[in-house]
């Protein structure tokens, strides 16, 4: 199959990129599994225009309908390989189908790092565990929470949560966060505990964590802030090298170092938020469509 633009990833970034590229009347193929988007199955209340807790799944499904209505072909499957051949790209999906495209938009997102302790899976689905303080802070007003992680993002989250929660424990065995951010979090009232979390306990929802020194702390929520890994393998296959922090570097047009390859969303770095993913999707999709028109002319 031939396409002007192939978008890899059907989260908010990829869907918006596909919509904006298709609006420019170029042939667009979008490949990616909706259910693997970080937005699938989450409640969203901080994205523009949402009212109360909007279903992330509904946002994505509406996005697919929009993309299709603008003429975009959507394939709900994974891409297994990507290859650059001259000034074109060959993208192979798990069905074995090959798309020959003039431009590629990488919107494959990130996978958040997990703590890997007992209780994490059980309470991970809106039952007291969150991986994003900026997203879920409001659900923990006047509650007792822990932020787990030693890096700067954890410090930022600990400080943020002091503005919502009645008590914030900031727990990690080793703190490598930027000193000024640590100072801010502690000055705001976060209590630092230099131990590991060994277990998350609860009944129906989280009610305590067990620490490596055996102590048990009663609380209502745990924010796991341990960073994430991007799905950058496909980027490398077409010559785009990830940065040391695993993100893909882009310019203001969301162009990568390889002509014809654009990237948007969580894969380009923080903040890992729908608004930022969608904004970059607009830029990447439009730029990829413009680029595709020039190829071979």
Ligand X SMILES: Cc1cc2nc3c(=O)[nH]c(=O)nc-3n(C[C@H](O)[C@H](O)[C@H](O)COP(=O)(O)OP(=O)(O)OC[C@H]3O[C@@H](n4cnc5c(N)ncnc54)[C@H](O)[C@@H]3O)c2cc1C
Question: Could you say whether residue 286 binds ligand X (CB under 6 A)?
Answer: no
Is residue 256 packed enough to be buried (19+ CB in 10 Å), middle (13-18) or exposed (0-12)?
buried
Q: How far apart are CA 172 and CA 232, in angstroms?
A: 28
Number of residues that bind ligand X (CB under 6 A): 36
* Exposure b/e, 73-111, CB count within 10 A at least 16 = b: bbbeebbeebebeeebbebebeeeeebebbbbbbbbbbe
Strands 167-171 and 191-193: parallel
For residue 207 the two structure tokens come to 């009610």
Per-position x/- string for 208-247, each x denoting binding to ligand X as judged by CB under 6 A, each - no binding: -----------------------x--x-------------
CA dist 113 and 42 (Å) reads: 17
Determine, following the binding rule CB under 6 A, whether residue 46 of this chain makes contact with ligand X: yes
Report the candidate in 160, 166, 151 with the shortest Cα–Cα distance to residue 225: 151
Footprint on residues 68-87 left by ligand X (CB under 6 A)? 78-79
**275 contacts ligand X (rule: CB under 6 A):** yes
Tell whether residue 270 is a contact of ligand X (CB under 6 A). Answer: no
274 is a site residue for ligand X (CB under 6 A): yes
> Of 13, 190, 210, 250, which lies in the binding site for ligand X, with binding defined by CB under 6 A?
13
Judged by CB, which is closer to ligand X: 159, or 266? 266
CB of 214 to ligand X, least distance (A): 30
Residues that bind ligand X (CB under 6 A): 8-14, 31-33, 36-39, 42, 44, 46-47, 78-79, 107-109, 112, 131-132, 135, 231, 234, 265-266, 272-275, 277
């Amino acid at each position: 199959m031939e396409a002007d633009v192939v978008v890899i990833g059907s989260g908010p970034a990829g869907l918006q990129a596909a919509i904006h590229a298709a609006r420019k009347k170029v042939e667009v193929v979008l490949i990616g599994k909706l259910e693997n988007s970080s937005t699938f199955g989450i409640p969203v209340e901080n994205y523009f225009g949402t009212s109360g807790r909007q279903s992330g799944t509904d946002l994505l499904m509406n996005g697919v309908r929009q993309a299709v209505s603008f003429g975009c072909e959507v394939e709900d499957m994974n891409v297994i390989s990507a290859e650059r051949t001259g000034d074109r790209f060959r993208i192979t999906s798990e069905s074995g189908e090959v798309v020959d495209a003039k431009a590629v938009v990488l919107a494959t997102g990130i996978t958040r790092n997990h703590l890997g302790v007992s209780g994490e899976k059980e309470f991970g689905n809106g039952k007291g565990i969150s991986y994003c303080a900026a997203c879920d802070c409001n659900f923990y007003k006047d509650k007792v929470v822990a932020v787990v992680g030693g890096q700067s993002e954890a410090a930022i989250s600990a400080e943020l949560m002091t503005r919502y929660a009645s008590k914030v424990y900031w727990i990690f065995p080793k703190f490598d966060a930027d000193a000024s951010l640590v100072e801010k979090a502690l000055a705001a009232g976060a209590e630092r505990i230099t131990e590991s979390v060994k277990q998350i306990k609860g009944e129906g929802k989280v009610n305590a964590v067990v620490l490596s020194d055996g102590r048990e702390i009663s609380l209502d929520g745990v924010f796991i802030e341990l960073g994430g890994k991007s799905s950058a393998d496909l980027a490398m296959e077409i010559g785009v090298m990830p940065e040391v922090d695993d993100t893909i570097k882009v310019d203001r047009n969301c162009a990568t170092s390889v002509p014809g390859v654009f990237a948007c969303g969580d894969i380009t770095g923080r903040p890992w938020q729908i608004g930022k993913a969608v904004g970059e999707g607009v830029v990447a999709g439009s730029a990829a469509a413009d680029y595709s028109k020039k190829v071979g002319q």
